[in-house]
Structures are given as C-alpha cells and as structure tokens.
Amino acid sequence: MLDGYKNSQPIVYKILKNAILNDKCSHAYLIETGGFYDSMGFTMAFVKSLLCPQKKLNKENCGNCHQCEVIDSGNFPEIEIIKPEGLWIKKEQLQNLQKEFNTKALIGNKRIYIITQADRLNKSSANSILKFLEEPDNNLVAILLTDNIYNVLPTIISRCQILKLKATNISKEALNEYQKLKQITASKSNLEDDILNQKIEKTIDFVNYYEKYHLNTILYINKLWNEYITNKEEYLISFEVMINYYKDILNYLLNKPLEIFELNDNIKSIAKTNNIEEICMKINKISSLKDLIKYNINTSLLMDKLIMSLEGVIK
Ligand SMILES: [Zn+2]
C-alpha cells in the first residue's frame, strides 16, 4: 500500500495520504515519474488506498482485504488502464473508456482510470478527455503518468494536480540492471521478458561497439542492430536504454554512484575516451532523435543518422 512508499516518496506520500484521510482527493492527477523505477507500483498502491474500504479504519495499512486482493489480481472492474496503442494513445481508446464508464453502474465508491505515458496523448485524443477532466465527477479519479511533464500538452497539465516522484536512490535497491531497465521500459512494451532482455542486451552491445569503432559501425549496422530492433516501439525502448547507459557513464565520470548499471570494463573504457561534455552531448542527441521517432520519422536510416550525429559529421 501507499505506506510502503513513505520513505522513498516522502513528499508525494504525505500529500496523497492527507488527501485520502480527509476525503479531499483531486479528480485528476498528473504524476511525473521521473527516474523513479517503481512508478507503476506506486500508482497501484495509490489506487488501492483510494478504493480500499478499510482505508479509514486502518490508518497504517491494508492491502489484505478482498477488494485489495482483487485489485492486485488485475481484475477489478472499476479500474481502467490506458496505454498507447502503437505510438499514440488513440482517441477511440478514450471514447470507449467514457462509453464504458457512462453505461456501467458503479460497484464500489470510485472509478479510476490510469493513462500511462500521458505525453503520448496527441491533440485529438487529448481533446476527447478534456471534458472528462473539466467536469469533475466525485466518483471518478484520473491518474495520468508521464516520464517528462514538458512533453505533455498544456491543456492537460492545467487541468491536473501535478505530483513529482523523487528519483530512485538505486544504491538501496537490490534490483539488477535488467530489472531496473525493465521497470523503466516495461510500462511501454508488451514484450515478453526474455525478448525485452535481448533487446536491452543488443542495445548495450551496439553502444559498446560504436564506442570502439565509431563511424565504421555503420558498415555493420545490419548485424548489430537491424536484426534485433525492428519496429518503432523497440526503437523507443532501445533509445531509452542508450540514454540510461550514457547517463550512468556520466555518473561514473562525475564520481557519483551508478543508478542502473553495474560498473564494468565497458563503462570504464567509454568513460576513458569521452569527457563529461561529450557524454552530455551524446545524451542530448539520442534524446532528440528519440523524440523524432514518436513523430513517425522513417527508422530505416535512423541509426546511420544517429552514428553520424554522435560523430559530429552531421548536426
Ligand atoms: Zn484493502
């Protein structure tokens, strides 16, 4: 339950706990998940706190009552989770949701819909939920999640209470790097675990290869990349993995603890051949290409473009 996040998310915990105990919950939250690896776990804990019939009787905790168990099993009918279908959250997904909420009778005390990656709401899908967000219904709570609030449309932001999760202090977490990367990327993919692991591994191999052979990497891009990373969803995951890899190399250069990866020889040798500015530049270039992927850029020459851009051959 929410109490499990008392230490890792002290501020947001306090805000939400107060709101729940005083029945002063907002009707729409936009949670910026930032670097917090367990943002979905946090969200579901919040949802349980909203719905659990014991929340007032037992101030400390629940998670054990029948309702909480059904929520954990993913079969609770008053919770809807909307994820992007393909690159965007589609207007039809939101219209279906509203239709469903309008026709079904309310069983519990509240209905909750969660929109993961609210930055993937484009103008037309956003418009279709503005009304929902504008006309608060006491029985309805919207929880929108995003990695980066700057990518969310202002019309959405202005109608939500904003909560910002604190980045994870990973040194306390006993997760390995794959588990951490999975937490970061998993909410965005329907890939099986071992397939996702393979994509992550191939992405890291690619960066390690590139850091050794630079422009020549283009010659082997089929073997290194195209055989494994094929559609836009996978590109988005891989680009996110690359960004996190370089961020940890940056941490190493700054003498800070690594957040995701275990320190290894590859990281050390990349840190030897790059300075802080170069790594920051690389993170920026990868991030801006990643944004282009969302906007339907053709991926066939994207990796050539990435390599040339990292090498400074093109802007
Ligand atoms: Zn409960």
Specify if 208 maps to a domain. yes
CATH number for 111: 3.40.50.300
Taking the chain (315 residues) in runs of 10, the rounded mean pLDDT of each run is 84 92 90 84 90 68 77 85 89 89 75 92 90 79 90 91 79 63 66 82 95 95 93 89 94 90 93 94 92 81 94 88
163 and 212 part of one domain: no
Distance 84 CA to ligand 1 centre (A): 29
Residue that is last in its domain, among 145, 168, 191: 168
160 and 184 part of one domain: no
140 and 235 part of one domain: no
Distance 27 CA to ligand 1 centre (A): 21
Give the pLDDT score at 171. 43
Distance 98 CA to ligand 1 centre (A): 26
Distance 6 CA to ligand 1 centre (A): 18
63 and 182 part of one domain: no
Distance 52 CA to ligand 1 centre (A): 4
Total of domains in the chain = 2
What is the domain extent for residue 267?
Answer: 174-310
164 and 178 part of one domain: no
48 and 135 part of one domain: yes
Distance 53 CA to ligand 1 centre (A): 6
Residue that is last in its domain, among 140, 168, 196: 168
Distance 20 CA to ligand 1 centre (A): 14
Distance 69 CA to ligand 1 centre (A): 7
Owner of token pair 């969310």: 152
Distance 1 CA to ligand 1 centre (A): 9
pTM above 0.75, yes or no: no
Distance 45 CA to ligand 1 centre (A): 10
Distance 2 CA to ligand 1 centre (A): 11
Distance 60 CA to ligand 1 centre (A): 11
149 and 189 part of one domain: no
Specify if 157 maps to a domain. yes
Give the pLDDT score at 214. 96
Q: In the beta sheet, which residues pair with residue 88?
A: 85
231 and 247 part of one domain: yes
Q: Which amino acid is it at 45?
A: A
Residue that is last in its domain, among 100, 134, 168: 168
Specify if 315 maps to a domain. no
154 and 237 part of one domain: no
25 and 115 part of one domain: yes
14 and 151 part of one domain: yes
Give the pLDDT score at 131. 80
